[in-house]
Amino acid sequence: MRGVLLGGGGYTLRGQSSHVLARVDLDRAPPEVVSFSMGFLPHGFAFDPRAPTRVAVFEKKGPGACVIDVATGVTERALAAGEGRQFYGHGAFSADGALLYATESVLTEGGRGVLVVRDGRTLEALGELGTHGFSPHDCHLLDDGKTMVVANGGGPYGVRGASLPCVTYVDVSTGKLLEKIAIPSPLFNAGHVAVSERGDLVIVSAPRDGVAGEPALGAVTLRLGRRKPFVIEQPEAIVARMLGEALSVALDADATMALATHPLGDCVTAWSLRDGASLAVIELAEARGVALTLDRAEFVVSHRAGDGMALSFFDARTLRPTGERIAPSPITGSHVVVRALAAE
């Protein structure tokens, strides 16, 4: 089973912006593509472990969020950020589905980060935890069900006293900071993360706000095991293509390789999680979202193809194209995710 792929799309027609949530059944022949109208551009997704088609969807840097049934397209309820705050794109359900966490930025306090905690069924706010950083974005609940990993983008570069970008490990039962990993270079924020079962951490970053250059470089940072984190700097020819935001990240089945997308560099880069060595570069115009299929046999990447967008497939071991492409695709957003939306 390859699974069902979800992603967001945004369009402008006759001067009016419109947004969709796209659902692609990869196990249909040909794959079935269905789109649901949305009031905002879907960025991140959180899946209720008790109900496979019940999904919380979040806007990046904005007020939009809801819980939706992706089988029917029916919105269960819109979610509202706290007063003086905005959603920052991501969230996660607790392992038992009883709670829903979402990253929010407190605009009235310079972007201080919070994880708002909601009842997983009623969606009523119950409280909040600090992210121990500013401008929180991506978040992942580890398999222990107790620890949330949060990417905190930090404050603008060059501003005295601005908070530094970091990734924090937070105990969700107490809010206690368990570990803080600073981005090794002050030039990059902390955008999206992937964490292996071994504890390897992959961070993809955009240039921090305020960094000079048009466009400045983004980055991929690795923390392998308990070793010191490092920003990838070699090979220079590949790093030079990390223009703007290093956007999405995915691991292979054995967590020995990480893929990162670079929309402005028109490529996907692949890195060893043994030593950080470059493994491959996939040439794709405006590569954006990347995900591993459920059978772990293929990576699927959303990218530009001609005047529109497409989804292309690559062998998960060799990274060679399989020849399959879904085009046109309604997915223009930052990420794609693949899940089983039926009980196994």
132: left (phi over 0), alpha (psi -120 to 50) or beta: left
Question: What is the pLDDT, as a whole number, of residue 343?
Answer: 55
Q: Are 21 and 44 in contact (CB under 8 A)?
A: no
Tens of pLDDT, residues 1-10? 999 999 999 9
User: pLDDT of 313-344, one tens digit each?
Assistant: 999 999 999 999 999 999 999 999 999 987 54
Q: pLDDT for 270-300, tens place per residue?
A: 999 999 999 999 999 999 999 999 999 999 9
Q: CA-CA distance, 282 to 265, in Å (whole number)?
A: 11
Site of tokens 């996660």: 92
Domain 40-182 adopts which CATH fold?
Methylamine Dehydrogenase; Chain H (2.130.10)
Provide the token pair at 120: 């997983």
Report pLDDT for 154. Answer: 96
pLDDT of residue 292: 98
Cα–Cα dist 77/80, whole Å: 10
pLDDT, tens digit, 9 for 90 and up, residues 174-227: 999 999 999 999 999 999 999 999 999 999 999 999 998 889 999 999 999 989
pLDDT digits (tens, 9 = 90+) for 142-170: 999 999 999 999 999 989 889 999 999 99
Mean predicted confidence (pLDDT) in 243-247: 97
What number is the average pLDDT over the span 84-89?
96
Q: Any long-range contacts for 174-177 (C-beta under 8 Å, 24+ apart)? A: 175/129, 175/130, 177/132
Across the range 260-273, mean pLDDT stands at 98
* Domains of the chain by residue range: 40-182
Residue 41 CA to residue 62 CA, distance in Å, equals: 10
Residue 12 scores a pLDDT above 90 = no
Confidence at residue 204, expressed as pLDDT on a 0 to 100 scale = 98
Q: What is the pLDDT of residues 96-124, one digit of tens each?
A: 999 999 999 999 999 999 999 999 999 99
Q: What is the tens place of the pLDDT at every residue in 72-86? A: 999 999 999 999 999
The proportion of the chain whose per-residue pLDDT surpasses 70, expressed as a percent, equals 99
**SS3 letters across 225-287:** CCCCCEECCCCHHHHCCCECCCCCEEECCCCCEEEEEECCCCEEEEEECCCCCEEEEEECCCC
Q: Is 166 left (phi over 0), alpha (psi -120 to 50) or beta?
A: beta
SS3 109: helix
Bridge partners, 249 (sequence order): 260
**Global pTM value:** 0.96
Return the SS3 of 107.
Answer: helix
Locus of tokens 């009623």: 122
What the block records as the tokens of 72 is: 């029917």
Q: What is the mean pLDDT of residues 223-247?
A: 97
Mean of pLDDT over the chain: 96
What is the structure's pLDDT at 15?
79
The position carrying tokens 């492409």 is 325
